[in-house]
Amino acid sequence: MDSKTVFELRKVAKDLLGELKVNKLNEALKICNDLYHKDQNDEWTQKAFAWTLIDLCKYYVSIGNFDQALRFYTNLQSINLKGHDELIEKQKKYLHPQIDSNFGDINKAEELSKNGKHKEAINVFTKLLSENRLSELHHESYGWVIYRYIKSETEGLTSIEIRKFLRDYMNLKNERPSLLHSMVLNFAMTFSKEHSDFNLYKFFKLWNPKNLRKEDKEIQSYEGKKIPSLISRVIREFVDKDYDYEVEYLMENIDMGNINNYSFDDDLPF
């Protein structure tokens, strides 16, 4: 028996249901345990073991047995994979929130937010925060809820309220750079146009220009019209509002070398 046998058993299990499925996966798991006991550092043994545990996690999540799913997930986390396997890491990231005890509340908040019930979604997260139940795992979800809320309710919120939500977002440990992070910067830029008490340049430094994505430095198109890049629009705002910005800081922290179709206006500082 080797790792190839494990992958063959997983393939068979894929088309099975219920007890037949879990029995086949447990058969694969037994082989994995034996192989892993002999050599924990064999790359294919590690991958076979990891994928079998992923399959078992998904099965127990599907039937609502989260305790059993968590046991398999803990084993999965203990495997010290040789090298980085992006697919396995993505599966871990996908499974963790479903196994987490707060997943139900997080999922509820996300659905409320996506359906336009932004205040209700914020209230769910406020409760989780007050009960110290919001782990870093769910910071990305909370970030999206904050973004949708302030974007939808801009007219109904005071400047102070929006700046507090932006502060709360900045304190999160979500992935950066990311689409969400760039959209928050775009919102802040738009917000600054109507609120002189909001300093976009100070916010941009906290946001960190090193988090700019490739797309943020390129001209975009919408309905056949060209739109200046996000970074050029942000810097245009620095100029228009006469912020006390530091050209040297911007030059040092914005990677100009990888910018395609850059769209700074002629009268911008660099």
Residue 139: phi and psi, rounded to 5, are -65, -35
Q: Maximum CA pair distance of the chain?
A: 71
pLDDT value, residue 137: 72
Beta bridge mates, 222: 225
Residues whose CB falls within 8 Å of the CB of residue 16, separated by 6 or more in sequence, listed in order: 24
The CA distance from 237 to 73, in Å, is 47
Q: Give the DSSP letter string of 45-70.
A: HHHHHHHHHHHHHHHHHHTT-HHHHH
Helices (H) and strands (E) in the chain, counts: 13, 2
Q: What is the CA radius of gyration of the chain?
A: 24
Is 52 within 8 Å of 6 (Cβ atoms)? yes
pLDDT in tens, the chain (270 residues): 678 888 988 989 988 899 999 999 999 999 888 888 888 888 888 888 899 999 999 999 888 888 788 888 888 988 888 778 889 889 988 888 788 778 778 889 999 999 999 999 999 999 999 998 888 778 999 999 999 999 999 999 999 999 999 999 999 999 899 999 999 999 999 999 999 999 999 999 999 999 999 999 999 888 888 999 999 999 999 999 999 989 899 999 997 654 444 343 433 322
3-99 CATH fold: 1.25.40
| CATH 1.25.40 domain locations along the chain | 3-99
